[in-house]
Amino acid sequence: MLASIEKDIQTKPRVDNLDSFFAQCLTVLQGTVLRLKVQDIVCYGLGSFAESSDSRLQVRFLQYLANSLQIPGTIYFYDPVLKPAEIIVGQRLGWQWIDENEHTTLFYMPHCEVDMYHNLFEANWSDEQLQQVLVIGNRLDGYLER
């Protein structure tokens, strides 16, 4: 199972319109990431990449961002739905669980519920801390409509 997941993540054929989307995201983020001197990426809400092709795509996009933006630190990840095999795959990719973070970080949160955003902002709720947080995720105003 591990080998199959890893192979799919690493060898999935490229899709032209997806590559264009990745490049557009990179263009938008590069200046901000450099200006803020982002050190790490924290990823919440990837979903089960053993079971979901969308989640595997999110993993590939995360790897693309980290490599293209040359984030010097670590990718930390968490999702309560991950199975032990998926955690091992993440660790084989060089990712780690997060305990504490005290420098500018990009949070990659592709499929998170509002409570995860709430927890993130609550834990970083000061002018100084919020200036060290960059989030790629869902539009927050969409949660107000629910």
Encode pLDDT of 44-55 as tens digits: 888 898 899 888
- Is 51 domain-assigned? yes
pLDDT of residue 76: 92
Rg for the chain (alpha carbons), in Å?
A: 15
Q: Which amino acid is at 49?
A: F
Is 124 inside any structural domain? yes
On the 0-12 / 13-18 / 19+ scale of CB atoms within 10 A, 46 is buried
What pLDDT does 100 receive? 58
Q: Is residue 52 part of a domain?
A: yes
The Cβ-side half-sphere exposure at 123, using a 13 Å CA radius, reads: 12
Domain holding 117, by residue range, is: 2-10+36-144
Per-residue pLDDT, 74: 92
Residue with tokens 């930390």: 76
- Residues 49 and 33: their CA atoms lie apart, in Å, by 26
Within-domain flag for 25: no
DSSP 103: S
Q: Are 120 and 107 in contact (CB under 8 A)?
A: yes
Q: How many domains does the chain have?
A: 1
- Give domain status of residue 82, yes or no: yes
In this prediction, residue 12 carries a pLDDT of 58
Laid out side by side, the sheet with 40-44 consists of 75-78, 40-44, 105-109, 133-137
pLDDT in tens, the chain (146 residues): 678 778 777 765 455 566 788 788 888 889 888 888 899 999 988 889 889 988 888 898 898 889 889 999 999 998 878 888 999 999 999 999 665 556 788 898 988 888 889 888 888 888 888 888 899 998 888 877 66
Q: Is residue 29 part of a domain?
A: no
CA proximity to 11, closest of 3, 21, 1: 3
pTM: 0.70
Classify 139 as helix, strand or coil: coil
